[in-house]
Amino acid sequence: MEDEFLKEVLMLLDSASSIAAIKVIREQTGLGLKDAKELSEKLSGLTLSEARTVLEKQSTASEPSGLDEDEVKRIVEAEGKISAIKYVRQQTGLGLKDAKDFVERIVGVQAKSGCASIIIAGLLLGQLLTYM
């Protein structure tokens, strides 16, 4: 599958269809627009084997190294997940999806307690008080 994807992207780049190549890269990799454009620029004019090497380097770079996970947890607790994602993006240059995935891996996806939970709790409490 990876070779088919690379062949298609390289063919599109060779035929000066960079927008179509970026679209395929985004669909196949989940990268954001900026990251997909940068990857297409790196792949432009390469052979299939050279493109494989670039793609391998790209996939190993998507996991940030040296980032302080405790700091990310602190930011999530103090300022929220969006601030933590922004911090990870600033520190690593990751795209939005990769930064979000990284933050969620560190802190785990926490269940949201919204208005529905409060309403249900109130209704249950009301029912309990009715029977007392």
- End-to-end CA distance of the chain: give it in Å, rounded: 65
Report pLDDT for 63. 56
CA gap 108, 24 in Å, rounded: 30
What percent helix, strand, coil does the chain show, rounded to 5? Answer: 75, 0, 25
Report pLDDT for 23. 92
pLDDT in tens, 16-74: 899 999 999 888 877 778 888 988 999 999 898 888 888 777 665 555 666 788 899 99
pLDDT in tens, 59-95: 655 556 667 888 999 999 999 999 999 998 888 777 8
Higher pLDDT, 33 or 129: 33
CA angle, residues 32, 72, 116, in degrees to nearest 5: 80
